[in-house]
Amino acid sequence: MLPSVSILQQVILAVLLVATAAWAVALVRLLRRARHRAAGGRGRRPLLGSVPRQTGPGGPPSECVELTAAEREAFAGLVRQLTNRG
């Protein structure tokens, strides 16, 4: 034990170290689970999969907007930019 540090400070330090270790373990597990799911692995059902669809007979109708040629080209350029990053 350190002679210049009180017992209370040592206990608080121990609690903080245990909390930090638990946080690090939880973070690693979450990252591994996310990587596994991204690779197509089977896991628990994602939260959004349990949300019912909003369109159909019980929901609002789907909307459709016609784009101009310039808007279609701008969207295609955006898609090209986003797919070239990965």
Residue 22 lies in a domain: yes
pTM summary value? 0.42
Q: Which residue has the higher pLDDT, 61 or 70?
A: 70
Residue 9 lies in a domain: yes
Q: Give the residue-averaged pLDDT of 56-84.
A: 86
Helical (H) or strand (E) element with 12: helix 7-38
Give me the residue label for tokens 């090209």: 80
Q: How many domains would you assign to the chain?
A: 1
**Domain with 21 in it:** 1-43
Residue 77 lies in a domain: no
**Residues 6 or more apart whose Cβ sits within 8 Å of residue 37:** 43, 46
Q: Which residue has the higher pLDDT, 25 or 42?
A: 25
